[in-house]
Amino acid sequence: MMLTYGREGCQSKLQDCKSIFRSILASLLLLVVTNGWCESDSGQAQISDLMGKLKARILQKNFDWDLSLFHEEGWLTHGKTVNGLPLIYWTCGSKEASNRSLVLSAVHGDEVTPTYFGFRLIEWLKARPESCKNRFIVVAPMVNPDGFLRYTSGTRTNYNKVDLNRNFDTPDWDKSALHLWKTKYGSRRRRYPGPKAGSEPETLFQQWLITEFKPVKILSVHAPLNILDYDGPRNGVTQAFSDKYIASCESLKSEMKKSTSLLKFHGYGLFPGSLGNYAGKQRGIPTVTAELPSTTASKAGHYFGLLEKATQVFFEYEIDLVALGEKIKISENP
């Protein structure tokens, strides 16, 4: 083996080395990218960042909540908020199950009791694995983290100051959403439906959860109206579903009502760009909105208890999908 080189030979070897080094670097990079290491590392870092911010905010506001609810493990993400935070969700059970439920909470930034509810619900489900057996449950406990992190009293919207529950892509949006906002709500910022339907990543996230996981029922948790509201198939209002399917959907409502003492069902109406309109009316998915009685953080645990049994009933309830037959509209792309 030749151990010494002339000047020219040495330079040539150096170039060879550089070339080999570049090849190794490129291969390593390819390996990392194809295995998704970059993505999962940065994804986990984003979740750590989100949970750190949530906990800091909770401490800052002196909410007496169990901070271990805001842990970093087991989350799935889809997209990011306007301000770059991950949009998180959690699932249990089998995606193939016919009993598929979706829970959405913390849609409005100043509604802090639903924030607790969503995170607490996941721990409740983890402690009751039988709740997920032969079912599929998706929980998105914090749809609007930007709103929660910057809220002061009255801050309902996302980082773009859009009301996410008026931003869904419904057929009446173009005609009515901005008009209604100006006429009925006096152009108040907290009700702004956005520049166009589905303009906000947090709205698209919720629409994606519905399209991707095809829930057959949806529970959306808000505060502070102290009501249960139902949007979905009902006689004389929604599309022509079979009577049996409509009865099955409406029965979900009455079974939940029986299971909670405080919240009463009350028709709150449909709005352009609302979840109830998007999922309940347009797609025929029975959608229950639970409005907790207040946004007082110290009562969040009590409110979870008030809705606990009704939520269990919601998960257990079997929508009559046979009666839905060929008229299924659930989870069609908009």
Record the tokens describing residue 42, joined without a space: 């940065």
**Taking CB positions, which residue lies at the least distance from Zn ion?**
222
In whole angstroms, how close is the CB of 274 to Zn ion at the nearest point? Answer: 10
In whole angstroms, how close is the CB of 84 to Zn ion at the nearest point? Answer: 23
Nearer to Zn ion, 108 or 191 (CB): 108
In whole angstroms, what is the distance from residue 70 CA to residue 48 CA?
10
In whole angstroms, how close is the CB of 267 to Zn ion at the nearest point? Answer: 16
In whole angstroms, what is the distance from residue 212 CA to residue 14 CA?
53
Segment near Zn ion (CB under 5 A), from 18-26, 83-91, 221-229, 282-290?
221-229
Query: For 192, phi and psi rounded to 5 degrees?
Result: -65, 120
Residues in binding contact with Zn ion, number by CB under 5 A: 3
In whole angstroms, how close is the CB of 99 to Zn ion at the nearest point? Answer: 26
In whole angstroms, how close is the CB of 170 to Zn ion at the nearest point? Answer: 17
Nearer to Zn ion, 208 or 268 (CB): 268
Binding mask 55-94 for Zn ion (x = CB under 5 A): ----------------------------------------
In whole angstroms, what is the distance from residue 260 CA to residue 262 CA?
6
Q: Which of 100, 108, 217, 234 binds Zn ion (CB under 5 A)?
A: 108
Nearer to Zn ion, 111 or 231 (CB): 111
In whole angstroms, what is the distance from residue 261 CA to residue 312 CA?
14
- CA of residue 265 relative to chain centroid, distance: 23
Whether the CB-CB separation of 304 and 201 falls below 8 Å is answered with no
Which of 124, 168, 154, 185 is CA-nearest to residue 276? 168
In whole angstroms, how close is the CB of 108 to Zn ion at the nearest point? Answer: 4
Q: Which residue has the tokens 């924030």?
A: 115
**Near Zn ion in 109-128, by CB under 5 A:** 111
Q: Residue ranges of the alpha helices (H) in the chain? A: 7-34, 37-60, 112-126, 145-150, 178-183, 201-213, 243-258, 275, 300-316, 321-324
DSSP 151: -
Those residues whose C-beta lies under 8 Å from the C-beta of residue 213, and which sit 6 or more positions away, are 91, 95, 100, 102, 136, 138, 331
Q: Which of 100, 135, 214, 222 binds Zn ion (CB under 5 A)?
A: 222
Nearer to Zn ion, 69 or 275 (CB): 275
Buried b (16+ CB within 10 A) or exposed e, 175-207: ebbbebbeeeeeeeeebbbbeebbebbbbbbbb
Nearer to Zn ion, 173 or 271 (CB): 271
Segment near Zn ion (CB under 5 A), from 56-64, 219-227, 235-243, 257-265?
219-227
Sheet of strand 76-80, all strands in order from the earlier edge strand to the far edge: 76-80, 86-93, 136-140, 100-105, 217-222, 287-291, 227-231, 264-265
Nearer to Zn ion, 99 or 165 (CB): 165
In whole angstroms, how close is the CB of 332 to Zn ion at the nearest point? Answer: 26
166 binds Zn ion (CB under 5 A): no
In whole angstroms, how close is the CB of 222 to Zn ion at the nearest point? Answer: 3
Residues that bind Zn ion (CB under 5 A): 108, 111, 222
